[in-house]
Structure 1
Amino acid sequence: MELSVLGSGQALSVSDAVFGREFNRDLVHQVVVAFRNAGRAGTKAQLSRAEVSGTTKKFKKQKGGGARHGDYRAPIFVGGGVTFAAKPRSFEQKVNKKMYRAAISVILSELNRQSRLTVVDAIDVSEPKTKALIAKLDELNAGRPLIVTESGSENLYLAARNIPYVQIRDVQGLDPAVLVGAERVVMTADAVKKVEEWLA
């Protein structure tokens, strides 16, 4: 298949296996959830009834005082233990390389089908000015894009860091979560070729 390169009037020949793949909702969901879970610390910890410090002395008689209670460490009391106390754990889910790469291909293919993937010959700014990058994005009619370059210049990163709705990634920094969350993806022709080599 071919992707048209905006502004050059030329077409870029790409693999159907990377940019023309059938959408697989379950695969994308599994990989995105696993990717996000891998970033979770899993360090939340609470004290159970057995772990709370304090006396275990029964604080009142068994009968004649209303509800029966043993000690003040019960979960219904302020300062008592938590009923089902959270403990540190790993949220990691196993996703092999084949699934991960397939999910990236599926997302890129769907972006292409929905006309949310724009390929440009190159995108850069001569100086690290936010105004210059905004003007360039207006020319491309890119909206709120994720810009993917083969290896982005420092000027481009500096120009984009003040714009909350623009993200800059190189091919190595591409991940399924950022692709799924992007309103529009702008990729340079060199980045497309590098992505194709990676996923083919």
Structure 2
Amino acid sequence: MELAVIGSGKKLSVSDSVFDREFSRDLVHQVVVAFRNAGRSGTKAQLTRSEVSGTTKKFKKQKGGGARHGDYRAPIFIGGGVTFAAGPRSFAQKVNRKMYRGALCAILSELNRQGRLSVVEEFDVAEGKTKVLVSKLTEMGLSMRPLIVTENGSDALYLAARNIPYVQVRDVQGIDPAALVGAEHVVMTADAVKKVEEWLA
């Protein structure tokens, strides 16, 4: 298939397996969830009865004082241990490389079908100022959460975009399924498209 390069009148020939693949909602959902879970720290921890600091001395006699208790570290007391204490854990989910790449292809293909994928010859700004990039995006009609993918992005482009919370600038190695799904529009340079095709084909 061919993708139109905006502003040049050229056509870029790309692989159907990458940019014209059938969309699989289940596959994309599984990969996006796994990607996000891999970023979770999983460091939540609580203390059990045996881990709480404090004396284990029996503080009252066994009988004649109501309920029987051994020490104040029991879960029913304030400052005591937690009955089913949470511990550090990993939220990582196994995703095969073939599944991950297949999900990226499915997302890119769906973006292309919906008209939310634009290819440009190059994307850069003259100076690293926010208003320069905002003006450029406004001219292109990209005001809502654009993702800019460039192979050779200049420092000025990254500087101009870092103060805009809804704009992301990535290189080819930095794209991920969560970023693609969360973007309203994806702008890719022609060089980036070829790199992505080499990577995913």
**TM-score, normalised with respect to structure 1:** 0.91
SS of the equivalent of 1:101 reads helix
1:14-34 Cα deviation digits (max 9, x unpaired)? 111111111112211222222
Is the Cα–Cα contact under 8 Å of residues 4 and 10 in structure 1 kept in the other structure?
Answer: yes
1:166-191 Cα deviation digits (max 9, x unpaired)? 11000011111111111211111111
Task: Please show how residues 10-159 of structure 1 align to structure 2 within 5 Å.
Answer: 10-62=10-62, 65-143=65-143, 144-159=145-160
Pairwise CA distance, 1:4 = 1.8
Q: Which residue of 2 aligns with 1:184?
A: 185
* Distance of 1:66 and 1:5 partners within structure 2: 82
Pairwise CA distance, 1:141 = 0.6
Letter in 1 for 2:188: M
Aligned residues: 200
Identity within the alignment, %: 80
Pairwise CA distance, 1:69 = 3.4
CA RMSD, Structure 1 to Structure 2 (Å): 1.8
Pairwise CA distance, 1:68 = 4.2
* Distance of 2:30 and 2:170 partners within structure 1: 23
Pairwise CA distance, 1:63 = 5.3
Q: Which runs of 5+ in 2 are unaligned?
A: none
Most deviating of 54-63 and 176-185:
54-63
Pairwise CA distance, 1:43 = 2.5
Pairwise CA distance, 1:77 = 1.7
Pairwise CA distance, 1:61 = 4.7
**TM-score, normalised with respect to structure 2:** 0.91
* Distance of 1:125 and 1:146 partners within structure 2: 15
Distance 1:76 1:114, change over 3 A: farther
Pairwise CA distance, 1:47 = 0.9
* Distance of 2:167 and 2:111 partners within structure 1: 17
* Distance of 2:36 and 2:92 partners within structure 1: 9
Is the Cα–Cα contact under 8 Å of residues 142 and 186 in structure 1 kept in the other structure?
Answer: no
Q: Which runs of 5+ in 1 are unaligned?
A: none
* Distance of 1:5 and 1:136 partners within structure 2: 17
Is the Cα–Cα contact under 8 Å of residues 145 and 165 in structure 1 kept in the other structure?
Answer: yes
